Amino acid sequence: MKAAVLTRTAGVASRPLEIREVRDPVPAPGQILLRVRACGMCRTDLHIVEGELKPLRDRVIPGHQIVGEAPDGARFGVTWMGGVDGTCEYCHRGEENLCDVPVFTGYSVDGGYAEFTVAGSDFAIPLPAGLTDLEIAPLLCAGVIGFRSLRVAGVQRGERVGLFGFGASAHLALPVLRAWGCRVYVCTRGSAHRKLAEWLGADWVGAERDRPPTPLDRAITFAPSGNVVIAALASLRKGGVVAINAIHLDHIPEFDYDSLLWGERQIRSVANVTRADARDFLELASEIGLRPKVTVFRLEQANEALLAMKNDAIDGAAVLVP
Ligand SMILES: [Zn+2]
Ligand SMILES: [Zn+2]
């Protein structure tokens, strides 16, 4: 099969992914073989390819938002959570997203930048019929983790919620917030992102350094920047929560406890997703007709697509089609 293979991490401008023929994957017991129909691209892929997330293997095929077809024709989704041990303290607590020995699709095992992949049967999620392959792919990471971020931030119906940064994940969280009757405030750099936020019905849209006009109940940060976390914190009411939706952050600058965190404000991180998050979100997405804005790339264009993502040159989500 054809695949985009990473053997040496490097800046995406140097085209580190090799597009080449590799042996077809063979499912082990408890796994299923999937023909990849579409695979979403994610900032985490960029961190893997560029080495900000340290390599776990000599060679890996990235991609963890896989819409695949089983040999019997059934359609499944595969997310970043490729499996858990089922035995650790966190698995027993029902917090499988925190599992001590997780399997990460497209990082600790091969993912979906390929014509075929294998997945754990338990972690292949049956997909709702109402949405197309291209519509579902970005939902499987950007969408699900955006949804989990809303849960981690404790968003209640009708609240004032800030989205700091407006890429693939935030643009999928916004329609969910609107469906819940929330007022949505978006701070983001790039006029294209601001236009998209307005078009999707944000109540207020500002630039990176602007502050929402009213204190927020919840804020979710999507940029890999500690400065953005502080900006979000500075926008909260007392008792408000910032949820950080970033697997990697540059650094969090020193900040003033008395004015920014006192008053029972909270900062929380969002780590991975559970299968329940994925199922609940996909159900809601099909219910509210969540149709992500998508830019399609061929498998051969994987490097170019990652570079465009790095440069914030893509509206909404990038999807690879083998
Ligand atoms: Zn992802
Ligand atoms: Zn576990």
* Ligand nearest to the backbone CA of 99: 2
CA distance 171 to 168: 6
pLDDT in tens, 27-46: 999 999 999 999 999 988 99
Nearest ligand by distance to the CA of 85: 2
User: What are 276-294's pLDDT values in tens digits?
Assistant: 999 999 999 999 999 888 9
Nearest ligand for residue 274 CA:
2
| Ligand 2 midpoint to CA 166 (Å) | 32
pTM score:
0.89
Q: Which ligand is nearest to the CA of 101?
A: 2
Cα–ligand 2 centroid distance for 276 (angstroms): 15
**Helices and strands counted in the chain (H then E):** 10, 17
Cα distance between residue 114 and residue 24, in whole Å: 10
High-pLDDT (> 90) share of the chain, %? 88
Residue 105 phi, psi (nearest 5): -60, 130
142 close to 314: Cβ distance less than 8 angstroms: no
Q: What is the pLDDT of residues 115-143, one digit of tens each?
A: 999 999 999 999 998 899 999 999 999 89
Task: Tell me, in angstroms, the distance from the centre of ligand 1 to residue 46's CA.
Answer: 10
